Amino acid sequence: MEQLIIDGESLTLEQLTAFIENPQIVVKLAATARETVQAYRSQVEKWLVEEHKVIYGITTGLGKLKDYVVDEQDQAIFQQNILRSHAVGLGPDLPEQVVRLALLLRANVLSRGHSGVRVELIERILQFLNHRICPLVPQIGSLGVGDLQPMAHVGLCLSGTSEGRVRIAGEEGSAADMLSTAGIAPVEFPLAAREALALMSGSTVVLAYAVYAYYQAKKLSGLADLAVSLNLEALRGERNAFDERIHAARGIPAQIETAQNIRRLIEGSTWLSDEGRKRLGETQPRVQDAVSLRSTPQIHGAAKDVLGYVATVLSRELNASTDNPLLFADETGYVSMSGGNFHGAILSYALDFIGIVLTDLAVLSERRSARLLDPLASYGLPANLVGGAIGLNTGFALVQANATALVGEMRTLATPASVGSIPAKSNQEDHNSMAMGAARKAMQIIDRLKTVLAIELLCAAQAIDLIAEKMHGLRLGSGTKQIHQAIRQHIQPVWEDRYVKADIERMLMLVESGELLCCLNGHTG
């Protein structure tokens, strides 16, 4: 069975992609990390018992209550009180993939040692991961300066309390009951001094959300290349705009990559030719297409370039110590320092960037699908992509209108959350990144973009079938033919109006399956 060894230093986005796609991966703690964690934990216990050192969140209250002392004999109660007072999240539960990522990311960061927790806490987190125990965590509450509310819910689950809620093998219930029924030992796992805050502090859930959003966004950026390529065939477009010399002249790697993707997909097409255009009545050279087609490499490439920046942000954060306080060791001994690494500003910016560029991909896709319905813009395709008698049949006008509606919503959602700080907690937290809001919006934008691209692909496939007879003797590109065939394996052309909502739903399922992305690599499957 495949394993992932965490040490707090070397976790990568590639490993997280594998973790998302293969839930059977077993996560283990590296031996070197175990030694480091034990050394730091020994120092925490020494401070508590022997030195009675004043350390924020360990021997003091939290936030505005930092000047109140917590005695060593009250630590067990203090840890449980921290969890109960902070586990006040509201709204729907987080997606399971996000929760699993959050558990992995927190275990990884705790394994650096700077948090001062026991090895047993990290092993408890890995026990949940490896036994597919998913805490049920409400989405609303974090302000993006440490995910205190969501991670407090996680803490109640790890503790095995009746307040924690978990899902195991599709069944949901209290952590105490579900762990006992599943034979997980121990059921009760009280957190020790320092551990509640170490678990909660730091923008772990936001980071997990950002990783998952980036994973989805990367796939959708590739799907957008597929959509424009099939659309080009339907419009018998001009291929010169994708010539590698044009894109090399600007020198943006992601733009060059996009143009290369499109060239690969349309390779061998004779629909994209003067002869192909003549079949529907064009007697003059096309010269160039509208910007939504001609400038696709520039726009898709710019979006991918921004996603590349997001990847650099995430790659750094995966192995970053972000809780407060942090412990450090040097030749003189150990020191505890209080700071602000928990702040999620950089993640909030990154999530806003994801939302902005994906919204623009949707804007572009909607304009391309709209062209297919207009005989003037489509160079002679049937109005509304009607397959039968026009008038008696309405065709795809309302199908495409869904894309217009969704783009309108996405533009509202793309308004940055990161500029919306509102002070909270008696002004002790007087700047908040609002990163959880950015994460929730990004996921809504991702869901909408899937549908917008699904509609463009559905419209383009319909257009190709409507003119296939007129294009007899000509061929689609090697990649676009595969895309068209993959769509037609699931959805038939619309020759007369029918209940087409079911077609949209099937197309969306095909998009979400990832099957079409295989066409980028020259094969289906």
Answer with the one of 150, 173, 201 that is the final residue of a domain.
201
347 and 467 share one domain: yes
Q: Rounded CA gap, 40 and 316, in Å?
A: 23
What is the pLDDT at residue 523? 45
Task: Give the 3-state DSSP-derived string for 322-336, with helices as H, strands as E and coil as C.
Answer: CCCCEEEEECCEEEE
Measured CA distances, 336 to 27, 55, 327, 522 (Å) = 29, 7, 4, 55
What is the pLDDT at residue 525? 38
The residue annotated as part of the active site, out of 40, 56, 212, 214, is 56
Supply the pTM of this predicted model: 0.94
Q: Which residues contact residue 415 at a Cβ distance below 8 angstroms, ignoring those fewer than 6 apart?
A: none
Within 10 angstroms of residue 408's Cβ, the number of other Cβ atoms is 11
Domain holding 239: CATH number? 1.20.200.10
Q: Rounded CA gap, 442 and 446, in Å?
A: 6
300 and 183 share one domain: no
Name the band, by pLDDT with cuts 50, 70 and 90, for residue 465.
Answer: very high
- What is the span of the domain harbouring residue 370? 210-376+383-521
60 and 16 share one domain: yes
Q: Rounded CA gap, 454 and 460, in Å?
A: 10
**What is the rounded end-to-end Cα distance, in angstroms, of the chain?**
24
174 and 225 share one domain: no
172 and 214 share one domain: no
326 and 182 share one domain: no
Number of domains in the chain: 2
| Closest of 492, 300, 511, 504 to residue 405, by C-alpha | 504
269 and 352 share one domain: yes
Domain holding 154: CATH number? 1.10.275.10
Q: What is the mean pLDDT of the chain?
A: 94
Q: Rounded CA gap, 498 and 216, in Å?
A: 32
Answer with the one of 201, 233, 268 that is the final residue of a domain.
201
Q: Which range in 11-15, 339-343, 432-436 is most confidently predicted, on average pLDDT?
A: 11-15
pLDDT at 464 over 90: yes
The least confident of 71-85, 233-247, 493-507 is: 71-85
SS3 487: helix
144 and 247 share one domain: no
pLDDT at 524 over 50: no
415 and 335 share one domain: yes
Summarised one tens digit per residue, pLDDT across range 246-257 is 999 999 999 999
| Closest of 297, 301, 287 to residue 237, by C-alpha | 287
Q: Rounded CA gap, 373 and 402, in Å?
A: 13
Place of tokens 């599943």: 182
Backbone φ, ψ for residue 92 (5° rounding):
-65, 160
Whether 56 is catalytic: yes
Answer with the one of 141, 169, 201 that is the final residue of a domain.
201
214 and 180 share one domain: no
What is the pLDDT at residue 332? 86
SS3 256: helix
Summarised one tens digit per residue, pLDDT across range 185-202 is 999 999 998 899 899 988
180 and 266 share one domain: no
302 and 254 share one domain: yes
CB 20 within 8 Å of CB 322: no
Name the band, by pLDDT with cuts 50, 70 and 90, for residue 425.
Answer: confident
